[in-house]
Amino acid sequence: MTYLVAGHRFIVEGFPTTENLRPFLTEDAEEAPLLFTLKRVIALPKEPATDFFTTDDGPGFPEIGISQYQDGSYRFRVKPLPGHPVAGEIHTSADFTRAELALFGQDDHFALNNALMLLFAFSSAHKGLLEMHASVIMNDGRGYLFLGKSGTGKSTHSSLWLKHIPGSELLNDDNPILRLMPDGSARVYGSPWSGKTPCYKAKDVPVGAVVRIRQAPFNKIERLSRLQAYASLMSSASGFRPLKQLADGWHRTLEGLCASVPCYTLDCLPDEEAARVCHNAVTNG
Protein backbone atom coordinates (compact mmCIF):
# COMPACT_ATOMS: atom_id res chain seq x y z
CA MET A 1 0.00 0.00 0.00
CA THR A 2 1.27 3.46 -0.89
CA TYR A 3 0.19 6.52 1.10
CA LEU A 4 0.59 10.22 0.32
CA VAL A 5 0.97 12.62 3.27
CA ALA A 6 2.10 16.26 2.95
CA GLY A 7 3.17 15.70 -0.65
CA HIS A 8 5.45 12.76 0.23
CA ARG A 9 4.97 9.01 -0.18
CA PHE A 10 5.57 6.07 2.10
CA ILE A 11 4.98 2.36 1.43
CA VAL A 12 3.63 -0.16 3.95
CA GLU A 13 3.91 -3.92 3.30
CA GLY A 14 2.13 -6.67 5.24
CA PHE A 15 -0.47 -4.50 7.02
CA PRO A 16 -4.12 -3.88 6.07
CA THR A 17 -5.32 -0.34 5.40
CA THR A 18 -6.85 1.09 8.58
CA GLU A 19 -9.49 3.81 9.00
CA ASN A 20 -6.95 6.53 9.70
CA LEU A 21 -4.72 5.59 6.75
CA ARG A 22 -7.45 5.04 4.15
CA PRO A 23 -7.93 8.74 3.15
CA PHE A 24 -4.22 8.91 2.27
CA LEU A 25 -4.11 5.75 0.16
CA THR A 26 -2.92 6.46 -3.38
CA GLU A 27 -2.15 4.62 -6.61
CA ASP A 28 -0.96 7.60 -8.62
CA ALA A 29 1.77 9.51 -6.81
CA GLU A 30 5.02 8.17 -8.26
CA GLU A 31 6.23 11.73 -8.83
CA ALA A 32 6.05 12.45 -5.08
CA PRO A 33 9.27 11.90 -3.08
CA LEU A 34 9.45 8.51 -1.32
CA LEU A 35 10.25 8.89 2.37
CA PHE A 36 10.40 5.29 3.57
CA THR A 37 9.21 1.71 3.22
CA LEU A 38 7.94 -0.25 6.24
CA LYS A 39 7.62 -4.07 6.13
CA ARG A 40 6.08 -6.42 8.64
CA VAL A 41 8.39 -9.15 9.97
CA ILE A 42 8.12 -11.88 12.60
CA ALA A 43 11.22 -10.84 14.54
CA LEU A 44 14.08 -8.35 14.38
CA PRO A 45 17.80 -9.16 14.04
CA LYS A 46 19.41 -10.76 17.08
CA GLU A 47 22.64 -8.79 16.80
CA PRO A 48 23.54 -6.78 19.92
CA ALA A 49 22.38 -3.18 19.99
CA THR A 50 23.46 -0.42 22.35
CA ASP A 51 20.70 1.35 24.28
CA PHE A 52 21.17 5.11 24.29
CA PHE A 53 17.81 6.80 24.87
CA THR A 54 14.38 6.22 26.43
CA THR A 55 11.62 8.82 26.40
CA ASP A 56 10.36 10.04 29.76
CA ASP A 57 7.26 12.14 29.09
CA GLY A 58 5.51 11.07 32.30
CA PRO A 59 2.37 9.10 33.18
CA GLY A 60 -0.18 8.76 30.40
CA PHE A 61 2.36 9.06 27.58
CA PRO A 62 3.90 6.29 25.44
CA GLU A 63 7.45 5.13 26.11
CA ILE A 64 9.95 4.74 23.28
CA GLY A 65 13.35 3.16 23.73
CA ILE A 66 16.07 3.62 21.09
CA SER A 67 19.12 1.41 20.50
CA GLN A 68 21.75 1.39 17.76
CA TYR A 69 23.32 -1.58 15.98
CA GLN A 70 27.00 -1.66 15.07
CA ASP A 71 26.20 -1.01 11.40
CA GLY A 72 24.54 2.32 12.30
CA SER A 73 20.95 1.14 11.98
CA TYR A 74 18.47 1.61 14.83
CA ARG A 75 15.97 -0.36 16.91
CA PHE A 76 12.93 1.28 18.51
CA ARG A 77 10.81 -0.36 21.20
CA VAL A 78 7.36 1.19 21.66
CA LYS A 79 5.10 0.80 24.70
CA PRO A 80 1.61 2.32 25.07
CA LEU A 81 2.55 3.42 28.60
CA PRO A 82 5.63 3.16 30.85
CA GLY A 83 5.73 -0.20 32.57
CA HIS A 84 3.53 -1.86 29.94
CA PRO A 85 4.73 -4.69 27.68
CA VAL A 86 6.42 -3.77 24.41
CA ALA A 87 3.81 -3.46 21.64
CA GLY A 88 6.27 -3.49 18.76
CA GLU A 89 9.91 -3.26 17.75
CA ILE A 90 11.13 -1.35 14.71
CA HIS A 91 14.43 -1.87 12.90
CA THR A 92 15.39 1.06 10.66
CA SER A 93 18.26 1.77 8.32
CA ALA A 94 20.67 4.50 9.41
CA ASP A 95 18.89 7.03 7.17
CA PHE A 96 15.38 5.86 8.25
CA THR A 97 14.30 5.10 4.66
CA ARG A 98 13.90 1.32 5.18
CA ALA A 99 12.29 -0.27 8.20
CA GLU A 100 10.84 -3.49 9.58
CA LEU A 101 8.19 -3.82 12.29
CA ALA A 102 7.61 -6.82 14.54
CA LEU A 103 4.34 -6.90 16.50
CA PHE A 104 3.77 -8.67 19.82
CA GLY A 105 -0.03 -8.70 20.05
CA GLN A 106 -0.25 -6.10 22.81
CA ASP A 107 -1.66 -3.20 20.76
CA ASP A 108 -0.95 -3.68 17.07
CA HIS A 109 -2.74 -0.50 15.96
CA PHE A 110 -0.71 1.60 18.41
CA ALA A 111 2.55 -0.04 17.35
CA LEU A 112 1.93 0.48 13.62
CA ASN A 113 0.90 4.10 13.96
CA ASN A 114 3.81 4.97 16.23
CA ALA A 115 6.21 3.28 13.82
CA LEU A 116 4.79 5.34 10.95
CA MET A 117 4.93 8.59 12.93
CA LEU A 118 8.54 7.98 13.97
CA LEU A 119 9.62 7.07 10.46
CA PHE A 120 7.79 10.02 8.92
CA ALA A 121 9.39 12.50 11.33
CA PHE A 122 12.91 11.05 11.07
CA SER A 123 13.02 10.37 7.32
CA SER A 124 11.69 13.86 6.51
CA ALA A 125 13.97 15.82 8.85
CA HIS A 126 15.84 17.39 5.91
CA LYS A 127 12.81 17.87 3.68
CA GLY A 128 11.12 20.87 5.34
CA LEU A 129 8.47 18.83 7.18
CA LEU A 130 7.52 18.97 10.85
CA GLU A 131 5.05 16.82 12.74
CA MET A 132 3.37 19.24 15.12
CA HIS A 133 1.55 18.60 18.38
CA ALA A 134 -1.31 20.94 17.54
CA SER A 135 -4.98 21.32 16.73
CA VAL A 136 -5.72 22.97 13.36
CA ILE A 137 -8.71 24.91 12.12
CA MET A 138 -9.24 25.83 8.47
CA ASN A 139 -11.05 29.11 7.86
CA ASP A 140 -11.36 31.25 4.74
CA GLY A 141 -8.73 29.23 2.89
CA ARG A 142 -6.06 29.30 5.60
CA GLY A 143 -4.97 27.05 8.45
CA TYR A 144 -4.55 28.14 12.07
CA LEU A 145 -2.47 25.96 14.37
CA PHE A 146 -3.17 26.00 18.11
CA LEU A 147 -0.22 24.81 20.20
CA GLY A 148 0.13 24.08 23.90
CA LYS A 149 0.95 21.43 26.44
CA SER A 150 -1.52 18.58 26.87
CA GLY A 151 -4.56 19.79 28.78
CA THR A 152 -4.08 23.51 28.11
CA GLY A 153 -7.05 23.80 25.76
CA LYS A 154 -5.94 23.33 22.14
CA SER A 155 -8.94 21.17 21.24
CA THR A 156 -11.25 23.35 23.31
CA HIS A 157 -10.15 26.45 21.43
CA SER A 158 -10.68 24.68 18.10
CA SER A 159 -14.19 23.73 19.21
CA LEU A 160 -14.86 27.42 20.03
CA TRP A 161 -13.88 28.40 16.49
CA LEU A 162 -16.14 25.66 15.09
CA LYS A 163 -19.03 26.99 17.16
CA HIS A 164 -18.55 30.75 16.90
CA ILE A 165 -16.41 31.53 13.81
CA PRO A 166 -18.42 30.91 10.61
CA GLY A 167 -16.75 28.79 7.93
CA SER A 168 -14.44 26.95 10.32
CA GLU A 169 -13.50 23.31 9.74
CA LEU A 170 -11.27 21.02 11.79
CA LEU A 171 -8.29 19.76 9.77
CA ASN A 172 -6.52 17.74 12.47
CA ASP A 173 -6.68 17.65 16.26
CA ASP A 174 -3.27 16.39 17.33
CA ASN A 175 -0.59 15.72 14.69
CA PRO A 176 -0.81 17.89 11.57
CA ILE A 177 2.19 18.27 9.27
CA LEU A 178 3.70 21.74 8.89
CA ARG A 179 5.65 22.13 5.64
CA LEU A 180 8.12 24.80 4.58
CA MET A 181 7.65 25.12 0.82
CA PRO A 182 10.52 25.74 -1.63
CA ASP A 183 9.42 29.37 -2.06
CA GLY A 184 9.62 30.00 1.71
CA SER A 185 5.86 29.91 2.32
CA ALA A 186 4.23 27.47 4.74
CA ARG A 187 1.37 24.99 4.38
CA VAL A 188 -0.33 22.76 6.92
CA TYR A 189 -1.53 19.27 6.02
CA GLY A 190 -3.88 16.79 7.60
CA SER A 191 -2.32 13.47 8.61
CA PRO A 192 -3.35 9.91 9.53
CA TRP A 193 -2.62 10.72 13.17
CA SER A 194 -5.04 12.87 15.15
CA GLY A 195 -4.91 11.77 18.78
CA LYS A 196 -8.24 10.96 20.42
CA THR A 197 -10.25 12.82 17.77
CA PRO A 198 -10.80 10.77 14.58
CA CYS A 199 -10.08 13.52 12.04
CA TYR A 200 -8.08 12.12 9.12
CA LYS A 201 -8.32 14.51 6.19
CA ALA A 202 -6.11 14.52 3.11
CA LYS A 203 -6.41 18.28 2.80
CA ASP A 204 -3.95 21.17 3.03
CA VAL A 205 -4.04 24.97 3.15
CA PRO A 206 -1.57 27.86 3.48
CA VAL A 207 -0.75 28.69 7.10
CA GLY A 208 -2.48 31.78 8.43
CA ALA A 209 -0.89 31.81 11.87
CA VAL A 210 0.39 29.69 14.75
CA VAL A 211 -1.05 30.43 18.20
CA ARG A 212 0.18 29.05 21.52
CA ILE A 213 -2.70 28.65 23.99
CA ARG A 214 -2.24 29.41 27.69
CA GLN A 215 -4.97 29.29 30.32
CA ALA A 216 -5.67 32.63 32.01
CA PRO A 217 -8.50 34.52 33.75
CA PHE A 218 -8.68 36.94 30.79
CA ASN A 219 -8.38 36.99 26.98
CA LYS A 220 -5.29 38.62 25.49
CA ILE A 221 -3.26 37.87 22.38
CA GLU A 222 0.30 38.99 21.64
CA ARG A 223 2.44 38.54 18.54
CA LEU A 224 5.82 36.91 19.14
CA SER A 225 9.25 38.01 17.99
CA ARG A 226 11.10 35.68 15.63
CA LEU A 227 13.18 34.25 18.50
CA GLN A 228 10.07 33.71 20.62
CA ALA A 229 8.34 32.12 17.64
CA TYR A 230 11.24 29.69 17.19
CA ALA A 231 11.00 28.58 20.82
CA SER A 232 7.23 28.21 20.58
CA LEU A 233 7.34 26.11 17.41
CA MET A 234 10.26 23.98 18.54
CA SER A 235 8.58 22.96 21.80
CA SER A 236 5.60 21.55 19.88
CA ALA A 237 7.47 19.92 16.99
CA SER A 238 8.14 16.18 17.07
CA GLY A 239 11.83 15.49 16.88
CA PHE A 240 14.81 13.82 18.49
CA ARG A 241 17.50 16.34 19.37
CA PRO A 242 20.29 13.88 20.40
CA LEU A 243 20.72 12.84 16.74
CA LYS A 244 22.55 15.88 15.37
CA GLN A 245 22.05 14.97 11.73
CA LEU A 246 18.28 15.15 12.26
CA ALA A 247 18.29 18.13 14.61
CA ASP A 248 20.15 20.23 12.02
CA GLY A 249 17.42 19.60 9.46
CA TRP A 250 14.61 20.49 11.87
CA HIS A 251 16.52 23.64 12.88
CA ARG A 252 16.71 24.87 9.30
CA THR A 253 12.98 24.20 8.82
CA LEU A 254 12.10 26.05 12.01
CA GLU A 255 14.23 29.03 10.98
CA GLY A 256 12.44 29.24 7.64
CA LEU A 257 9.00 28.93 9.21
CA CYS A 258 9.71 31.67 11.75
CA ALA A 259 10.56 34.01 8.90
CA SER A 260 7.25 33.47 7.10
CA VAL A 261 4.59 32.46 9.66
CA PRO A 262 3.01 34.93 12.15
CA CYS A 263 3.18 33.41 15.64
CA TYR A 264 1.22 34.47 18.72
CA THR A 265 0.54 33.65 22.35
CA LEU A 266 -3.09 33.66 23.45
CA ASP A 267 -3.80 33.91 27.18
CA CYS A 268 -7.44 32.97 27.39
CA LEU A 269 -10.58 31.64 28.97
CA PRO A 270 -12.51 28.80 27.30
CA ASP A 271 -15.20 31.13 25.98
CA GLU A 272 -16.59 32.72 22.82
CA GLU A 273 -14.70 35.96 23.38
CA ALA A 274 -11.38 34.07 23.28
CA ALA A 275 -12.18 32.68 19.84
CA ARG A 276 -13.19 36.11 18.54
CA VAL A 277 -10.13 37.87 20.02
CA CYS A 278 -7.89 35.24 18.40
CA HIS A 279 -9.71 35.31 15.06
CA ASN A 280 -9.60 39.10 14.83
CA ALA A 281 -5.88 39.23 15.57
CA VAL A 282 -4.71 36.47 13.25
CA THR A 283 -6.86 37.51 10.29
CA ASN A 284 -6.07 41.22 10.55
CA GLY A 285 -2.34 40.71 11.05
134/112 same-domain check? no
Number of separate domains in the chain: 2
Q: Is 79 exposed, middle or buried (0-12, 13-18, 19+ CB in 10 A)?
A: buried
**Rounded Cα gap, residues 243 and 245, in angstroms:** 6
45/179 same-domain check? no
269/173 same-domain check? yes
Mean pLDDT (the chain) is 94
Q: What pLDDT score was predicted for residue 9?
A: 97
110/153 same-domain check? no
Q: Which residue range(s) make up the domain with 17?
A: 2-124
Going through 55-140 in order, the beta strands assigned E by DSSP cover: 63-69, 74-79, 88-92, 98-103, 129-131, 135-139
Task: Give the Cβ contact number of residue 240 at 10 Å.
Answer: 16
6/42 same-domain check? yes
CA proximity to 210, closest of 126, 132, 94: 132
Measuring CA to CA, how many Å separate 86 from each of 42, 110, 114, 126, 151? 14, 11, 12, 30, 26
Q: Pick from 70, 90, 124: which residue ends a domain?
A: 124
7/134 same-domain check? no
Amino acid sitting at position 132 = M
**Rounded Cα gap, residues 192 and 146, in angstroms:** 18
**Rounded Cα gap, residues 64 and 184, in angstroms:** 33
232/209 same-domain check? yes
For the stretch 53-94, pLDDT in tens is 888 877 788 999 999 999 999 999 999 998 899 999 999 999
118/138 same-domain check? no
Q: What pLDDT score was predicted for residue 149?
A: 85
231/162 same-domain check? yes
Q: Pick from 107, 124, 141: which residue ends a domain?
A: 124
Residue 231: CATH number of its domain: 3.90.228.20
For the stretch 119-133, pLDDT in tens is 999 999 999 999 999
148/270 same-domain check? yes
For the stretch 134-192, pLDDT in tens is 999 999 999 999 999 888 899 999 999 999 999 999 999 999 999 999 999 999 999 99
116/136 same-domain check? no
Q: What pLDDT score was predicted for residue 231?
A: 95
Q: Pick from 124, 153, 178: which residue ends a domain?
A: 124
Going by DSSP bridges, is the β-strand pair 8-13/34-41 parallel, antiparallel, or unpaired? parallel
Q: What pLDDT score was predicted for residue 232?
A: 96
**Beta-ladder partners of 244:** none
**Rounded Cα gap, residues 228 and 244, in angstroms:** 22
Predicted confidence band of residue 106 (pLDDT cuts 50, 70, 90):
confident
**Rounded Cα gap, residues 205 and 222, in angstroms:** 24
For the stretch 207-224, pLDDT in tens is 999 999 999 999 999 999
pTM for this predicted structure: 0.95
For the stretch 1-53, pLDDT in tens is 999 999 999 999 999 999 999 999 998 888 999 999 999 999 887 888 898 88
**Beta-ladder partners of 172:** 136
7/107 same-domain check? yes
